[in-house]
Amino acid sequence: MATESIYRLIPKEEIKPPKEPMYKSTFRGRVKEETKTNKSPSKTMGPAKVEQPKTSEFLKRRSGEHDLSTTKPFKYSDDDRKRPPVPKATEKPLMGLKSNKNFVKTNAVENILSVPKKPAANFADTVRGATHPLDPSGLKPVYTRMKKYGNVPDYLTKRNDEVKRAQEEYDEYIKEHYRRGAMKSLSDNERKSIIDGLKKNWEEIHHQYQGLSMVTDTAPKKARKERLESEMKQLERDIELLEKHNIIYISN
């Protein structure tokens, strides 16, 4: 394939792209100010040039010794050298006041009547048993046992009072209808017999439910299964209601 072409006979002028401006950070001025603040020449490393000592001022022999011509010999003072005299044979030293107290019996009685000290409350935090005081550790429940700690909020107290008052009003209403003869309460024997009857009915329906076919491929089978399930659920709710409440009121 030929590479020569009339379009390439005249060389094209090379156009250089314009040079982008040099990037300058917006924090440049702040950095310059921070580098100059709290800075002074020779602050940490000392001056660049130190004045050299003169050649005539050098250390000479025996120039560091002290002048011993003015020193005086050491002598003890009279107070330090004197000691108290030895007491004579006729002198009797003062022994203080005499007491007739029997210290042996007194100490014995005090130890017998004293209450033994309780061991300090400590806790061990290592395998070898390094003990530390328990009170400042935070493991002892101090605040939860205070009388003024954990007060019930006012809104909960108010709500409990309202619930209690509503229950009392309802009890009064039931007692009033009970006095008028509009309602009658079931005895324990009647309540127990009703519960036993409901449980017996549930067992009979459950026995029928167990005898159903495993495959409910027809509409009658499906309807019978749903009917038995709803009857068992209703009996379970009735049994739970009677067992939950000890006093049952019925209207005449």
The answer as to whether 18 is a domain residue is no
Domain count for the chain: 3
What are the tokens at 23? 């990037």
Lowest mean pLDDT among 162-171, 173-182, 200-209, 240-249: 173-182
Range of the domain at 128: 120-151
Give the per-residue pLDDT at 81: 66
Structure confidence at residue 182 as a pLDDT band (50, 70, 90): low
State whether 141 and 159 are in the same domain: no
Shared domain for 224 and 236, answered yes or no, is: yes
Q: How is 163-223 classified by DSSP, letter by letter?
A: HHHHHHHHHHHHHHHHHHTSEEEPPHHHHHHHHHHHHHHHHHHHHHHHTS-S---SHHHHH
- Shared-domain flag, residues 194 and 237: yes
Percentage of residues of the chain with pLDDT beyond 90: 18
The 10s digit of each residue's pLDDT in 138-165 is 888 777 777 777 778 889 999 999 999 9
| 167 domain residue, yes or no | yes
